Amino acid sequence: MATNAAQKLTRKDFVSDQDVRWCPGCGDYSILAQVQKIMPEIGVSRENTVFISGIGCSSRFPYYMNTYGFHTIHGRAPASATGLKVSRPDLSVWVVTGDGDGLSIGGNHLLHALRRNVDLKILLFNNRIYGLTKGQYSPTSELGKVTKSTPAGSADHPVNPLLFALGVDASFIARTIDVEAKHQQDILTRAANHRGAAFVEILQNCNVFNDGAFASLTDRELKSDTQLLLENGKPMIFGKNKDRGIRLRGMSPEVVTLGNGITADDLLVHDENDPVLGFMLSRLAQPAFPMPLGVIRATNKVTFDAAMNSQIQDAMAKSGDGDIDKLLRSGDVWTVQ
């Protein structure tokens, strides 16, 4: 029954009684497990947590969380989440979306939730494909993607979720990947603790319709050369032997190998507060560069929900709690005898 702060919750407390219905081997399982795992750590109770989703494979997520949940309609989760968070600032509100849900049909709502800086935790599962409708290309699919709906290859240029979020000046932007449990937990915890809209792109393998989309990042042999793990205030070093790094040449980044006079001091140092650096990092992609994972940007600004609520509190402080009879009698009134 009731949970309270004194009782230490465990991962199990966040597991609902519903059977999980994703395809066996889907990356979504790992994400669900990591979210359930960090929940007890971030110190919110089950009853004060709400998961809101749109439509798509990822959007089944709320059914599996033993919290409050709302499975809304395609692309619109950020809108419903905004209404909930504004009117109930006491709740911890999470949005689960996908590349189609969040960046195609719901791109508009995602844009506005991020730029308003509503205090929502937005997890975008990016598998670069439409899963639930069985395999059409998505707005994050690479150019030329051959799918059921694009037998000759897709003709559209993909959207980069991180650049999108940077473009609307989101206050927290991060990227992680389904198979890296620990990294995911760290990033999710950071997102949970951020005050404001926290946007996390989670690279997720759809083993049925787009298997291996991130194989180079997850391959045991390759991944230390293909992942750039970001740490605030630390130089950007990667590689199996931690001997490679990112350096700035003029305005452009380049990959260098340490040694021969090049030291860690020559490398770019990550600064989560620097939007210009954020833009540069978000553009780094395989195969020329390692793929950055971690917090791309974290900065503080007033949240929309806090601003809206302080306006109400100010109005109440100034004019007192509204009185209906006074309201009815406001304006030009007259008496007929």
Partner 1 sequence: MATSPVGVLPPKPVVERDNVVIRFAGDSGDGMQVTGMQFTNESVFAGNEIGTLPDFPAEIRAPTGTLYGVSAFQVNFSSQSVYTPGDDLDALVVMNPAALKTNLADLKQNGLLILDKAEFNEPNLKKAQYAKSPLDDGSLDKYQLYPVEITKMTTLALKDMNLPNRSVMRCRNFFALGVVSWLYNRPIEPTVKWITERFKKNTEVLEANTLALKAGYNLGENTELFASSYDIKPAKIAPGLYRNITGNTATAIGFVAAAKKAGLPLFLGSYPITPASDVLHDLSTLKNFNVYTFQAEDEIAGIGSALGAAFGGSIAITTTSGPGMNLKAETIGLAAVVELPLIITNIQRSGPSTGMPTKPEQSDLLQALYGRHGEAPLPVIAASSPADCFFAAYEAVRIAVKYMTPVILLTDGYLANASEPWLLPSSADLPEVNVEFRTDPQGFFPYLRDEDTLARPWVRPGTPGLEHRVGGLEKDYLTGNISYAPSNHEQMVRVRYRKMAKITQDIPPTKINGPESGKLLIIGWGSTYGSITAAVKGFQEQGKSVSHIHLRHLNPLPADLGDILSRFEKILVPEMNMGQLLRVLRAEYLVDAVGLNKIQGRPFKVSEITARISRMLEE
CB of residue 98 to ligand SF4, shortest distance in Å = 8
Distance separating alpha carbons of residues 293 and 289, to the nearest angstrom: 12
23 touches ligand SF4 (CB under 6 A): yes
Considering beta carbons, is residue 55 or 206 the nearer one to ligand SF4?
206
Of 129-137, 236-244, 295-303, 307-315: span binding partner 1 (CB under 8 A): 307-315
Which of 9, 14, 22, 100: binder of ligand SF4 (CB under 6 A)? 22
Distance separating alpha carbons of residues 114 and 311, to the nearest angstrom: 20
CB neighbours (10 Å) of residue 42?
14
DSSP sequence for 262-320: B-GGGS-B--TT-HHHHHHHHH--TTTSPEEEEEEEE-----HHHHHHHHHHHHHHHH-
Considering beta carbons, is residue 53 or 282 the nearer one to ligand SF4?
53
Instruction: Please tell me what DSSP assigns to residue 33.
Output: H
Of 20-28, 137-145, 183-191, 230-238: span binding ligand SF4 (CB under 6 A): 20-28
Q: From 234, 93, 220, 112, select the one nearest 167 (Cα to Cα).
A: 112
Cα-based torsion angle of the residue sequence 148, 152, 156, 157 in order, rounded to the nearest 10 degrees: 100
CB of residue 27 to partner 1, shortest distance in Å = 22
The bridge status of strand 198-203 relative to strand 172-177 is parallel
Which of 43, 83, 144, 212: binder of partner 1 (CB under 8 A)? 83
Partner that binds at residue 190, options ligand SF4, partner 1, none, CB closer than 5 to 8 Å by kind: none
CB of residue 208 to ligand SF4, shortest distance in Å = 4
Burial class of 204 by CB neighbour count within 10 A (0 to 12, 13 to 18, 19+): buried
- Give me the residues paired with residue 135 across strands: none
Of 149-157, 227-235, 238-246, 308-316: span binding partner 1 (CB under 8 A): 308-316
Distance separating alpha carbons of residues 11 and 307, to the nearest angstrom: 33
The bridge status of strand 92-98 relative to strand 120-126 is parallel
CB of residue 299 to partner 1, shortest distance in Å = 22
Of 21-29, 236-244, 255-263, 272-280: span binding ligand SF4 (CB under 6 A): 21-29
Considering beta carbons, is residue 52 or 267 the nearer one to partner 1?
52
Distance separating alpha carbons of residues 47 and 91, to the nearest angstrom: 9
Total number of residues that touch partner 1 (CB under 8 A): 65
CB of residue 48 to partner 1, shortest distance in Å = 6
57 touches ligand SF4 (CB under 6 A): yes
- Give me the residues paired with residue 294 across strands: 175
Q: From 122, 273, 124, 133, select the one nearest 191 (Cα to Cα).
A: 122
CB neighbours (10 Å) of residue 156?
12
Partner that binds at residue 48, options partner 1, ligand SF4, none, CB closer than 5 to 8 Å by kind: partner 1
Q: Which of residues 32-61 bind partner 1 (CB under 8 A)?
A: 45-48, 50, 52, 55
329 touches partner 1 (CB under 8 A): yes
CB neighbours (10 Å) of residue 149?
12
Which of 30, 36, 80, 117: binder of partner 1 (CB under 8 A)? 80
251 touches partner 1 (CB under 8 A): no
Applying CB under 8 A, the residues found at the interface with partner 1 are 1-4, 16, 18, 45-48, 50, 52, 55, 62-63, 65-73, 76, 78-88, 90-91, 108-109, 111-112, 308, 311-312, 314-316, 318-322, 324-325, 327-329, 331-337
Applying CB under 6 A, the residues found at the interface with ligand SF4 are 22-23, 26, 28, 57, 127, 131, 206-209
